[in-house]
Every structure is written in structure tokens, then in C-alpha cells.
Amino acid sequence: MIPPLQHITGMAPYALASLPAASDQDMISLAQNESLRPPSPQAIAAAKNALAYGQLYPDPDWSDLRTELAGRHGLKAENILCGAGSMELIAALAQCYLDDRNIALASEYSYAFFRTASERVGSRLVAAKENGFKVSIDSLLATSTAQTRLVFIANPGNPTGTRIPTSDLIALRNDLADGTLLIIDEAYGEFADGTDQSAFNLVDRGDTVVLRTLSKAYGLASMRVGWGYFPPDVATQLRKILTPNNVSSVSQAAATAAVADHTYMRHTTRLTKEIRLAFSLSLKDLGLEPPASDTNFVLIPFKSEADATAADAALRRHGFVARGMGGYGLPNCLRLTISQETHMKSVIRVLASQSNQGLP
């Protein structure tokens, strides 16, 4: 065998949800936080139209998409960069700033890809303790050292679903060392938009990045489109790392039309919130205590790992795939994506029958 680099052989593979086999098409996945609705009809039409020009390479500058995003959020188009999912942008940031002489910092129960992205460039990720499934600014600051180069915060968080106010992020940024880049991953930002001041304003300081994606609220996970708002000098370096033509023409067209159809996306986030609130109430009626979510999923802590495993198995028997949280250090929890109302009511019935058998 030809020996790969040591830091790669030492890495654990990135673990996606254990999804059912393709033969099990009747299974309903609540494991990957996908949207409860298909993409906007306008996005579908735009994608079909773009495919007719499939012989051509895509626009390397994502011009239409950046213009649409800049207009929507009141941002400067030239400071927006797009990726093949926001995962590409997270990976590029790690490649740009991390190596074996520095470290990345994240919150205890944060998005697992932050660790993968850090380790694959030979760095390490250190986790700061949370407080009741919430990011703790004090604990992040106490864990930050002179070696800390990147701080990753998903807000709202995944897998917790909880959100900290923008004022906390400002306080964190004020107290972090100047040589530390703060990355605020707002993959679920659309589900909380309008409830607080925008984090995009922090980017003007020059030491903060905000990431978003079309994968969740816009229902375009399969199209792989993410974007970020970057200080100009960060954007300049990052562009060298992004693969040229990284977002297909079909994906760019779908994303641009999806952002333009703001009403459709807002309908999705409102519907998701309604179903999530009712689902969370039903969980509480069963004696469960999910942390308050600002996303399209709910984290459910059970009394024990055995209870979580039993609930997971019961859900599978009834055709639902939950996301086990062992890999996140929460083996007593399951994470469930908010899907259509009838599905969530069935989930509650399954969990209720479990609790009648002595669980939770």
C-alpha cells in the first residue's frame, strides 16, 4: 500500500446518517435536516432551462446568484463567494488558515464537519463545554488560546437546534484575540431571520465570516449550493482554494430563482415552525425535554442510551429514519428533522407507544 499522509490515516471518516438501502424506498428520512417541501417551482423551471446549455461551463463568478443574494440581504455582491454546499466553504477556510501549528475551536455539540475540515489539513479541533445545549461564550473564551486560529459557531446550532443572540456573538468577537477568525455558520439562519439583528454586520470588522446554504430552508440540498459573506482579504485568499466552476449552471440557476422566490421560502419556514412547535409540545406531553429549536429539526434527549436506541428501532419499524447522536457524544439523544404534519404525528404515536412500555 502506498502510505497516505499520517494525519489522513489517523482521521475518522465523516459519518453521515445511516440511511436505508435504496431498496427501502418507503422509508422516510428524518435524519439529514432536508426541507419538508420540494424546491420552488420557479427554481425547478430555471434548473430545467439551464440544463439545455449543459455543454457550457458554469459562470465561475456566480454573478446572477451573488446579485440576487446581495439585493436580498443588503450586502456587497463582490464580498459574497459561493461553494458546492457551504461544506466546500468550511473546508476551504480550514485549508486557508489551519495547519499542525494552530488549532480550531468550536462548541461542544457543534457540526461534526468542523472537526473533519480541521483534521484533514493536519490541525486539531478543540471543543468548549456547552451550557444546557447552548453555546457558551464564556466557555469558548476560556478555551481559546494563542494557538486558536479559527472559531466555528453554528447559530442556530446543529445538532442542538438552539440559538444564541447576536449580542452574544458581538461580545465573543470583542473578546477574541485579533488573530482569530470567527466563522458563524448560519445554515439554519432563514428559520430565525427577523427575530434578532443580523450577524452579517459583523463581517465589516474584517475578522468575521458568515456562511449560509440553499440546502435547508430553500429545499435545494441536492443542488449543493452554499454561500458566505467575507471580508475582502479573506475572500481574495479563499478564491484561490475554491475549485474553479465549483457550482454547476443548473445549481446556480435553481439557487438564483429560489432566492428570488422569497415568498415560497418564507412559506416553508413558517410551516416548519408551526409543525415544529406542535411536535415539541407533543414531545413534552410524553415527558421528554427537547431544547427549544430555531431550526427545522429537534434534538430529543431520552433518559438513557437504551431508551434512545429503543425509540430509534421502533421508529425504523414504522418507516422513519432518525439521526442517532452517538457520534456527537450524545448517545441518549435522537435528532429528528421536521417533516410534514402527518409524519410528525405518526412519530409521536410511535414514541407514545414506546413510553407506554415503560419509556422514556
Ligand X SMILES: *Cc1c(COP(=O)(O)O)cnc(C)c1O
Q: Which of 208, 215, 248, 337 binds ligand X (CB under 6 A)?
A: 215
Give the interface segment with ligand X, choosing from 52-60, 85-93, 175-183, 279-287 (CB under 6 A). Answer: 85-93
Residue 154 contacts ligand X per CB under 6 A: yes
Nearer to ligand X, 228 or 360 (CB): 228
CA distance 212 to 154: 10
What's 106-120 look like in SS3? EECCCCCHHHHHHHC
CA distance 172 to 202: 11
Q: Which of 35, 86, 118, 293 binds ligand X (CB under 6 A)?
A: 86
CA distance 333 to 310: 11
Q: How far is the CB of 187 from ligand X (least distance, A)?
A: 3
Nearer to ligand X, 149 or 163 (CB): 163
3-state class (DSSP) for residue 257: helix
Q: How far is the CB of 285 from ligand X (least distance, A)?
A: 28
Q: Which of 62, 111, 152, 264 binds ligand X (CB under 6 A)?
A: 111
Site for ligand X in 186-205 (CB under 6 A): 187
- Pair 108, 132: CB distance under 8 Å: no
DSSP 313-343: HHHHHTTEE-EE-GGGT-TTEEEEE---HHH
Site for ligand X in 28-57 (CB under 6 A): 33
Q: How far is the CB of 355 from ligand X (least distance, A)?
A: 29
Nearer to ligand X, 87 or 359 (CB): 87
CA distance 18 to 323: 8
Locate 146 and state its grid cell. Answer: 494563542
Q: How far is the CB of 111 from ligand X (least distance, A)?
A: 4
Residue 87 contacts ligand X per CB under 6 A: yes
CA distance 221 to 156: 18
Contacts to ligand X by CB under 6 A: 33, 85-87, 111, 154, 158, 185, 187, 213, 215, 221, 226
